[in-house]
Amino acid sequence: MKDVTYRNILTDRDGAIGIITLNRPKVLNALSHELMEELVMALEDFDKEDGIRVIILTGGERAFAAGADIGKMSDETTISIMLKDRFATWDKVRKVKKPVIAAVSGYALGGGCELVMTCDIIIASESAQFGQPEINIGVIPGAGGTQRLTRAVGKYKAMEMILTGRPMTAYEAHQWGLVNKVVPVELLLEEAKSVAREIAKKSPVATKLAKEAVLKTFDGPISEGLEFERKNFYMLFSSEDQKEGMKAFLEKRQPTFSGR
Ligand code: HXC
């Protein structure tokens, strides 16, 4: 299959493995809408390509992704962000039928952590950090964090992470069941590929149906929760705290929240 030229991601193949690398290193792979659209295109292409059996999603050594692009989000209002319906792109990520393995190094924060959690298996390097720091900029997770993190690590740890914004190290994430395996950074991609190769040997149709069946318990009743989270996320764009939180991040200062 002919590859499209992307500006925010890289694609590669290794036998039956399709590899997608997030590639906006200057902003720690912040997830702009353009990046998300390219990601969905690449995922859908690999999902359709017969020779590809498993997809690996990775980022850079310093960051898998440090979240949604705050610079492009700070001026949104509840209505403007709702009308843009950016989450339609995110909905497509979770429709991919082939197994997706996340290979995570460095920061996986906010939307970055949420993107990791849409994957099926998570391999982390020792430097990986997982967190939902949205509360620090006056908002909440909007792409499944309140739902998937809670299912992965349980109510209390999820509450702690979402309410304090504090991230987990790779080893903590492993201990809490968010990560399958932690490896030294230089072995990250190789470990992800080794798991991918093992899966690629199995029946393609059984693999697809197995993933679909697991997601029925995990993702099945999630739609209502995602919808609720999304509405609350949109609603916060009517608050002064969202404006202040994002402005403060961009101006590299501490925010002063008024509660309005
Ligand atoms: C836009 C970002 C960014 C982001 C980092 N950058 N994260 N730009 N959106 N999410 C940019 C910085 O502005 C900076 O640009 C450059 O990347 C390097 O970042 P630094 O902050 O200088 O690096 P460092 O001091 O090492 O700190 C790393 C960091 C910090 C701890 C990860 O960047 C950080 O806190 N980032 C924001 C994390 C966050 O709040 N994520 C949640 C976003 S909201 P310049 O031009 O100055 O070099 C979200 C909601 C999801 O994800 C909703 C669903 C989509």
User: Could you tell me the mean pLDDT of each successive run of 10 residues in the chain, 260 residues long?
Assistant: 83 98 98 97 97 98 97 94 92 96 98 98 98 98 97 97 98 98 98 98 94 84 87 94 96 94
111 belongs to the catalytic site: yes
Q: What is the pLDDT of residue 220?
A: 67
What token pair was written down for 67? 């979240």
Question: Distance, CA 225 to ligand 1 centroid (Å)?
Answer: 26
Q: What is the pLDDT of residue 221?
A: 76
Query: Is 9 within 8 Å of 24 (Cβ atoms)?
Result: no
Residue type, 145: G
Question: Distance, CA 239 to ligand 1 centroid (Å)?
Answer: 21
- Chain Cα centroid distance, residue 45: 19
What is the residue with the minimal CA distance to atom 43 of ligand 1? 67
* String of DSSP letters for 161-227: HHHH---EEHHHHHHTTS-SEEE-GGGHHHHHHHHHHHHHTS-HHHHHHHHHHHHHHHTTTHHHHHH
114 belongs to the catalytic site: yes
What is the residue with the minimal CA distance to atom 25 of ligand 1? 252
Question: Distance, CA 249 to ligand 1 centroid (Å)?
Answer: 8
* Residue 109 Cα: closest atom of ligand 1: 41
Q: Under 8 Å CB-to-CB from 123, ≥6 apart: which residues?
A: 101, 102, 103, 104, 179, 180, 181, 182, 183, 188, 191, 192, 195
- Answer yes or no: is the C-beta of 142 below 6 A from any ligand 1 atom: yes
Q: What is the pLDDT of residue 216?
A: 86
Q: 13 by DSSP, 3-state: which?
A: strand
